Amino acid sequence: MLTPTATVINSDMMPFSKRGLYQAIQNILYGLGSVLGASLGGMIVDSVGWRWCFLLQVPVSLFALAVGHHVLAAPEHAPEHSLSTALECVDLPGALLLVCGLAAQLLGLSLGGNDYSWGSFPVVGSLIGSTVLLGVFVVVEMNTGGRKLPIIPLWMLHGWQSLAVQLTNLFVGMASYAVSFPSTTPTGCQALTIALQ
């Protein structure tokens, strides 16, 4: 749900040899935005007003569009004719199965432990439904070919290098989002403070 458009562009439109460079640039900019965004936004609000937080994004967005137009080339398989020709290349069943499978998974993980117990029917049912939908998605992607472009080309997942990259992405994502969830157990510093009081 939170996947930025830049990640999709890096994954689909960048040549494999240059993908690491552009992903590194994207990660640097994302990190800078995460660190400076709140303080810079607060400074803008305090000095010239909250509307400028949105207005200042216009030149940045125009610059990004200009850079994208300069850097990105049309893929070799891109259709050159009409919208209907382009839609023939889209894997609509795969996209629908992926969205529904991930939505069911997110629903189950969000409801579990919050609104329902982990063993309740809505949680277990949505997680089982997610597993089934994602399994069907893999089967559909294995059989997608011809003019249609699969959402996830399964040939990209062969070999130990691809497995290492995917596991690294998984663990980095887990570490990045771990700070969003408060811990119910005190950390070492908190436990020491409680003990000293």
Report how far apart, in Å, the C-alpha atoms of 35 and of each of 28, 39, 179 are.
11, 8, 14
Structure tokens at 9: 């562009």
Same domain, 58 and 94: no
Find out whether 81 and 18 touch, Cβ atoms under 8 Å. Answer: no
Q: Containing domain of residue 142, as a range? A: 81-178
Task: Name the pTM for this structure.
Answer: 0.56
Least reliable range by pLDDT among 12-26, 97-111, 133-147, 172-186: 172-186
Closest to 20 in 3D by CA, of 117, 161, 123: 161
Whether 196 has a pLDDT exceeding 60, the answer reads no
pLDDT, mean over the chain: 80
Same domain, 63 and 89: no
Split into its structural domains, the chain has a count of 2
Same domain, 173 and 92: yes
Whether 194 has a pLDDT exceeding 60, the answer reads no
Residue 150 lies in a domain: yes
Give the tens place of pLDDT for each residue, 33-62: 888 888 888 898 899 988 888 898 899 889
Same domain, 117 and 45: no
Residue 61 lies in a domain: yes
Same domain, 89 and 168: yes
